[in-house]
Copies of this chain bind each other. A is one copy, B any other.
Amino acid sequence: MKGISIKDIAKQAGVSPTTVSFVLNGKAKEKRISEQVSKKILKLASKLKYKPNQLARGLRTGKTKTIGLIVEDIANHFFANVAKIVEEEADKYGYKVLYGSTEDNITKARGLLDVLEYRQVDGYIITPTPGMDKEIEALKHARKPMVLLDRYLPQIPTNYVMVNNFQGAYDAADYLVKCGYKNIALVTIPSEQIQMKERLDGFTAAMKAHQAPFPRKMTKKIPFAATKDEALSEIKSFILGNPDLEAIFFSTNYLGIYGMEAFKELGLTIGKDIAFISFDDHDLFRLYSPGITCVAQPIHDIARHVIQVLMNELDNNHNEINQVILPATLVKRESCSRVKSQKA
């Protein structure tokens, strides 16, 4: 059950393995192999269905044509979609993808990095967890091709591709204020991670620009590590504790989903009792009645840029840094459709 090797072809063609290798690597001209021999080899290769052993090749060349994709959670809508495009795009360049989820846990992330190193991946796409600075620094120092995804580490200049979190959150707050809502709250995670900070900053900046009050107590932070039940009850008691609440912005996809669940359990109607807006789009938001207004990320563009930047690193060694920030889109649906004139 052995595969066909370059030696088998060589033997049958009556030439040396070297010649076969040259021909199959398209170096026939360069290495001055005759047409005759070239053709014979090519014919034999396709007749025998020769498939180069990537292990042997990789061992020799030091390239595996494999990239490592580290995401927060491959089962999450955003990352699953990114993973899909990444795989498709990588394939066009002859690369395959190994993946893994960190759950935003640095220990898991370290484990993944280790394994990917064992596997000699050629490049890394990484959604960094909190506290991952040292590891990223190490990769950078080792000059490994790498792109950060969805977030970046402000202390370390690296390639990254992400959405414009500030602008996305700004637009959301801007929209809520323009719709005439007062007493607007934000639900987020107490993370030092830059993407969360930027969402908070963008939101705050918009409120300030409108001179709309946004006291600290209107920001609710739910620990990432909270269980679903804990998160739900935190959200519910936050809502109950703020009876004047007119609108809530949830700073992530999954918090938004928890928010909907909380509303459901409290018997509140989205858009009617309290306006509702979330970061990140989702089937759920699109199809819910009322449709949930959200700040959508350009998932395809993100994935495509990630691969482009990585391939650029992989090809060239000139180390310009690519930092791509793509615009977020405010998708207006019915969950916060009140307009100023309707205000009492």
Binding site for B on A (CB under 8 A): 1, 51-56, 58-59, 64, 66, 73-77, 80-81, 83-84, 87-88, 91, 96-101, 111, 114-115, 117-120, 142-143, 257, 260-261, 264, 282-284, 286-289
Contact = CB atoms under 8 A, between A and B. Distances in A.
B75 A81 contact: yes
A66 B100 CA distance: 13
B75 A96 contact: no
Given A87-B99, A91-B111, 15 more contacts: A51-B117, A53-B118, A54-B120, A55-B55, A55-B58, A55-B59, A55-B120, A56-B59, A59-B59, A74-B74, A75-B84, A76-B80, A77-B80, A84-B101, A287-B288
A91 B115 CA distance: 9
A339 to B, nearest CB: 22
Copies of this protein in the complex: 2
B64 A73 contact: no
Contacts of A101: 84, 87-88
A120 B53 contact: yes
A25 to B, nearest CB: 15
A289 B191 CA distance: 32
Nearest to A289: B264
Nearest to A83: B74
Contacts of A288: 284, 287-289
Contacts of A66: 98, 119
Nearest to A116: B96
A97 B99 contact: yes
A261 B289 contact: no
B64 A75 contact: no
A119 B75 CA distance: 25
Contact of A96 (B58, B87, B115, B286): B115
Nearest to A81: B75
12 contacts: A52-B118, A53-B118, A54-B118, A54-B120, A55-B58, A55-B120, A96-B119, A98-B98, A282-B283, A283-B283, A288-B288, A288-B289
A99 to B, nearest CB: 7
B289 A289 contact: yes
Nearest to A101: B84
Contact of A51 (B59, B76, B97, B118): B118
Contacts of A55: 55, 58-59, 64, 120
A73 B142 CA distance: 35
Nearest to A63: B55
Contacts of A56: 59
Nearest to A87: B100
Contacts of A58: 55
Contacts of A81: 75
A194 B297 CA distance: 37
Contacts of A88: 101
